[in-house]
Amino acid sequence: MRLIRFEDWAKPIAPARREVLSATPEVDEGKPPVLFVPGFGHGAWAFAEFWLEHTAGRGFPAHAVSPRGHGGSADGSGASLRAYAHDVVQAAASLPRQAVLVGQGAGALVVERALARYPARAAVLLAPVLGGWATFGAALRGNPGGTLPAIFGGRLRLSRRQLFSRGVPDAVARGYTERLGRASARAQWQLLLHRAPEPPVGDPPVLVMGSPDDRVVPASALTRAARRYGGAPLLFPGMGHDMMLDTRWQEPIDAILDWLEKGGS
Amino acid sequence: MTTSTDHDSATLWRDGRPVYDRGETVCVVGAGPSGLASIKNLREHGFGVDCYERETGVGGGWNWRHDRSPVYGSAHLISSKPFTQYPDFPMPDDWPDFPHHGQVLSYLERYADHFDLRPHIWFGTEVVKVEPADGTRWDVTTRSTGGYGAERTHRYTAVLVANGHNWSPNLPMYEGLDEFKGRVIHSSAYKDPAELRGKRVLVIGGGNTGCDIAVEAAQQAFRCWHSTRRGYWYAPKYVLGRPADQVNDAILRLRLPLWLRQWLLQRTLRLTVGDLRRFGMRRPDHKIFETHPIVNSQLIYQVGEITRFRQYSVELSDGTEVEPDLVVAATGYQPKFEFLAPETLAATADGRPRLHLHAFSRRHPTLAVAGLLESDSGLLPLVHWQTVAFARWLRLREAEPRRAAEFWAGTVAKEADRRWTGAKVQDTPRHWFEVGHVDYLRALQKMIDGLAAGVKA
């Protein structure tokens, strides 16, 4: 717990227009809102595809935020991880009730940082890209052409093979990869080199989920992430990195909502 | 109203009156900014909470509907957002740097709803008495605001007092005040500049409220005099194109020695504002940081201190006599704890509680006061961490009584009174609980870290 926050005090993040897509249940059952945070290059649209409606259908108000520079949000060139986390905290604090944060891919890295500034009700790290050399190595081996330019500030390009399982039809997968944008060069570098996040405030339960067949996040990284929060990862074999867009998208989101209904622990 | 409190029959008695046992529940007095943070952080640490609020809404003094609210129509924050918001619930980033008091209230209301605090608050209920009960527990006697209905007593495991300190007007006694035929009001009764229109107004007090009202009087009144005891440093809201407090913290971050910071900031003010004497203000009789900061860039011309009132005029220390028909005394507020016996807070003869970090009772480990601070930044961040520290302290007491006792004896009970300010603050009645936010938070950090070391084990 760090009380002295000169960076927050002396250099607050400037506001930027944020895109938040929502789906709300027809009847308010008092369930907590769920805020989805997409990974680098993705926008809120990735969750609008299937998960938002499904979540709302099960009685949870569902929202997805695009961090600056992503999706329909304002330009975010030069944005840091701190700016992305700021966008997530702002979106969460604007909801009427205490929210659950769900971060996918590098969005999990952003959610970790947001948890240090907002007492979420619970958090889910989904196929979390928390940086580190193992993840970098896997990306270099699996997709050298898309990864190398990022070292020099170019765009990190993820391929269809990295993101989706074979079950996703080619045309559909191409449609998704064509919609991908990019994170700022600074944030991409911060994937590799960043300070460890401050501990979460309010001690929320944290669930780590992923797939052993994810070509972006090695199984060892998943286990390490889960261990940090005192648990084991919940695994969905056969799925790709973008679990919310895969053919079997319903399994992980149902698992998340079941976990929340059981009190999230 | 839904509450978690359905009374089981009383099993305890005190002076022939029933006492309802609330078990491990903690009592919070007041649902203003400090009270709301208390409820939220105690709940977050797993405690049941009963909060008593004499008004019918949250927000305390920031809620202008409340009869004790000191806010006036134009009141704005003078600390920028990062220093004003709760550290774990930011204000919307598209709000201005210095929000209006109405925005602060809506922020507090959203905080209460977001964390679902209202079910724990008993509105329209005032606390009459807080007395130590067996061991370290507390009997809290309440009744409906205004004194209707019967009194009820509940027993709690701990009490967090968050009744605020800006509601009981402080009116100094001046010679001849009784004979004065004009109107005299305290600034808490001032709401709208229309009240000043066409009048001859004397504003007393060089604090932030006094300065705001003096500026409005200068624009609205027929004639205006502003009486202050000393010259102050007046900080503008912005320097170098950024909120001044943010610039100050960028300098604080460098951990420069105080004299160098004072020189730097006095130099910056000199360059951006200029010599205040040219605007008819007096030269400050102290260095910067030695009084509560005054943020105002529109103020010009002051008169001296008041010597005495006459029937139709007021005599000033510089020998002049002015003839106001309205006197607004912006002379501040007195902290007041009517429901607590003075010895409970180890108060001095003039009623200043003596508390560890201005918050924790040294005599009663389960009693604390939240928000009894004047800070060079906003209050909410400090209150947030005070209440987190109190919640963690209660948790440690429960989990590891032995280590908790060691911690208590080693830090809270032992540490001498000190002031958490970088500079030597002027010793006037309004400055005894003045703190510097960085020094104060460092001290709180030390306490919270010390408590955490125990909780982990």
Mutation for A interface: B42, B45, B93, most A CBs within 10 A: B93
Q: What is the pLDDT of residues A81-140, one digit of tens each?
A: 999 999 999 999 999 999 999 999 999 999 999 999 999 999 999 999 998 788 888 888
In a domain, A147, yes or no: yes
Q: What is the pLDDT of residue B4?
A: 45
Q: Using H for helix, E for strand and C for coil, what is the string for chain A? A: CCCCCHHHHHCCCCCCCCEEEEECCCCCCCCCCEEEECCCCCCCHHHHCCHHHHHHHCCCCEEEEECCCCCCCCCCCCCCHHHHHHHHHHHHHCCCCCCEEEEECHHHHHHHHHHCCCCCCEEEEECCCCCCHHHHHHHHHHCHHHHHHHHCCCCCCCCHHHHCCCCCCHHHHHHHHHHCCCCCHHHHHHHHCCCCCCCCCCCCCEEEEECCCCCCCCHHHHHHHHHHCCCCCEECCCCCCCCCCCCCCHHHHHHHHHHHHCCCC
In a domain, A51, yes or no: yes
Q: Per the CB < 8 Å rule, is A97 touching B114?
A: yes
CA distance A67 to chain B (A): 14
**For residue B253, which residues of chain A lie inside 8 Å, CB to CB?**
6, 10
Q: CB-based contact (8 Å) between A27 and chain B?
A: no
In a domain, A3, yes or no: no
Contact A181, A74 (CB under 8 A): no
Q: Which residue has the higher pLDDT, B113 or B407?
A: B113
In a domain, A7, yes or no: no
Asked if the model's pLDDT at residue B424 lies above 70, the reply is: no
Question: Residue A163 belongs to what domain range?
Answer: 14-261
Closest CA relative to residue B358, chosen from B344, B343, B339, B373: B373
Q: CB-based contact (8 Å) between A152 and chain B?
A: no
Report the alpha-carbon distance of residue A91 to residue A84 in Å, rounded: 11
Q: What is the pLDDT of residues B356-404, one digit of tens each?
A: 999 999 889 999 999 999 888 889 999 999 999 999 999 999 999 999 9
Q: Which of A3, A94, A98 lies at the smallest CB-CB distance from B115?
A: A98
Would you mind telling me the total number of residues written for chain A in this entry?
Answer: 265
pLDDT mean across residues, chain B:
88
Contact A208, A231 (CB under 8 A): yes
Asked if the model's pLDDT at residue B185 lies above 70, the reply is: yes
Q: What is the CATH architecture assignment of B12-168+334-456?
A: 3-Layer(bba) Sandwich (3.50)
Number of domains into which chain A is organized: 1
Contact B276, B234 (CB under 8 A): yes
pTM above 0.80, yes or no: yes
Q: What is the pLDDT of residues B138-177, one digit of tens each?
A: 999 999 998 888 899 999 999 999 999 888 898 888 899 9
Q: Which of B88, B246, B452 lies at the smallest CB-CB distance from A9?
A: B246
In a domain, A4, yes or no: no
Q: Which CATH number characterizes residue A229's domain? A: 3.40.50.1820
According to DSSP, residue B340 is labeled B
Closest B-chain CA to A30: B116
**For residue B252, which residues of chain A lie inside 8 Å, CB to CB?**
6
According to DSSP, residue B432 is labeled T
CA distance B166 to chain A (A): 25
Can you say how many angstroms the Cα of residue A260 is from the centroid of all Cα atoms in its chain? Answer: 17
Q: What is the pLDDT of residue B3?
A: 44
In a domain, A5, yes or no: no
Report the alpha-carbon distance of residue A162 to residue B94 in Å, rounded: 38
Closest CA relative to residue B281, chosen from B199, B206, B216, B200: B206
Q: Where are the alpha helices (DSSP H) in B122-225?
A: 208-220
Instruction: Kindly compute the dihedral angle of the four CA atoms of residues A40, A45, A50, A54, in this order, to the nearest 10 degrees.
Output: 100
Closest CA relative to residue B384, chosen from B61, B41, B144: B41
Asked if the model's pLDDT at residue B5 lies above 60, the reply is: no
**CATH, domain range B183-329:** 3.50.50.60
Contact B101, B123 (CB under 8 A): no
Q: Per the CB < 8 Å rule, is A5 touching B87?
A: yes
**Angle, CA of A234, A240 and A244, to the nearest 5°:** 75
The lowest-confidence range among A161-170, A212-221, B14-23, B234-243 is B234-243
The lowest-confidence range among A155-164, B35-44, B80-89, B408-417 is B408-417
The one-letter amino acid code at B95 reads W
Specify which residues A124 forms β-bridges with.
A102, A207
Query: Which residues lie closer than 8 Å to B352 by C-beta, 6 or more apart?
Result: B335, B432, B433
Token duo for residue B36: 């709301």
**For residue B92, which residues of chain A lie inside 8 Å, CB to CB?**
90, 93-94
Asked if the model's pLDDT at residue B457 lies above 50, the reply is: no
Beta strand B242-243 pairing with B12-14: unpaired
In our burial notation (b when 16+ CB lie closer than 10 A, e otherwise), range B11-20 reads: ebeeeeeebb
Helix (H, G, I), strand (E, B) or coil at B352: coil
Report the alpha-carbon distance of residue B72 to residue B62 in Å, rounded: 10
pLDDT band, residue B300 (cuts 50/70/90): low
Q: What is the pLDDT of residues B29-54, one digit of tens each?
A: 999 999 999 999 999 999 999 999 99
Q: Which residue has the higher pLDDT, B24 or B349?
A: B24
In chain B, domain spans: 12-168+334-456, 183-329
Contact B335, B165 (CB under 8 A): yes
**Percent of chain A having pLDDT more than 90?**
82
In a domain, A8, yes or no: no
Q: Which residue has the higher pLDDT, B280 or A189?
A: A189
CA distance B146 to chain A (A): 33
Would you mind telling me the total number of residues written for chain B in this entry?
Answer: 457
Q: What is the pLDDT of residue A245?
A: 97
Q: Which of A1, A4, A5 lies at the smallest CB-CB distance from B442?
A: A4
Task: Give burial (CB, 10 Å; 0-12/13-18/19+) of B140.
Answer: buried
